[in-house]
Amino acid sequence: MLALDSCSAPYAPKPIEMSPPDSAPDLATIPGTDIKMSSLFYDNRETLHDEFSGKHGLWRGHVVVTQLTISSDDKNPTDVLIDSAYVSINHKYYPAVSPKEVYDVAWPAANPLAPLKEDLFNAAVVGFTVMTLGLGSVIWVLPTPFSQPAPDTTPFGRDLNYKALTNNITLQPGTFRSGFLFFHLPQSVDMTKLDGAQMVLHFVTKTSNATPHEIIFNLPAPAKPAS
């Protein structure tokens, strides 16, 4: 008998909480502009699960999550074009990854026994088919209940996509925008000991002329008190 264990609570997306950058512990002002940035790093398992609820595998999969908030007090609308973002730690660099890449890392981390369950399920299907229809039967290989689903078919996958910061942001005077950046670190990195790590952003601001910038945030800076 093959039992299906799908008793975990359904994923519950949470709205993005946006606070003005001035109130953040990690604040940077873009030189020559009235644009400010703040970076909030989800530096422990509890704060990460508070933002992305349930069994998702982000921490176990070594995905660094930061919330970047950008505000503008410029007199004119400004385009902010993020060219690249990466985390620097121990003289190595890890670029930002897309929500789909995050999902491909997090889902196996949250479901480490899925391959074994899938093999057992397929073996049971083959055994049942042979017993009922004989050895010469044609066996169709179909997705099992334990296969990794496509990101856009799951609430967690869609939530990652909705919350990801876009590369092209238009800021009206007096407004601010917020979203998440994701970085995949190797298993050899201790997620609780990232002292000395930095998040580096290369981007361009454009009003009448395009101006390149580099902003560096030191990690960790706590996103919020652990509950």
Q: Is residue 67 a contact partner of residue 50, using CB atoms and an 8 Å limit?
A: no
Q: What is the pLDDT of residue 131?
A: 59
Residue 27 structural domain: 21-109+156-218
Q: What is the pLDDT of residue 179?
A: 94
Count of the separate structural domains present in the chain: 2
Q: What is the pLDDT of residue 8?
A: 59
Q: 118 and 102 share a domain? A: no
Q: What is the pLDDT of residue 164?
A: 95
Q: 79 and 166 share a domain? A: yes
Residue 57 is which amino acid?
A: G
Size of the chain, expressed as the number of residues it contains: 227
Q: What is the pLDDT of residue 14?
A: 86
* 30: in domain: yes
Q: 25 and 133 share a domain? A: no
- What's the rounded Cα separation, in Å, for the pair 34 and 80? 12
Q: 125 and 40 share a domain? A: no
- What's the rounded Cα separation, in Å, for the pair 12 and 7? 15
Q: What is the pLDDT of residue 226?
A: 44
Q: What is the pLDDT of residue 23?
A: 75
pLDDT along the chain (227 residues), means of 10: 51 81 81 89 84 81 92 90 94 94 84 47 49 52 58 87 93 91 92 88 89 90 48
- What's the rounded Cα separation, in Å, for the pair 67 and 87? 14
Cα torsion 51, 53, 56, 60: sign: positive
Secondary structure E strands in the chain: 27-29, 35-41, 63-72, 78-89, 92-95, 168-171, 176-184, 198-206, 210-218
- Structure token pair of residue 200: 């580096």
* 16: in domain: no
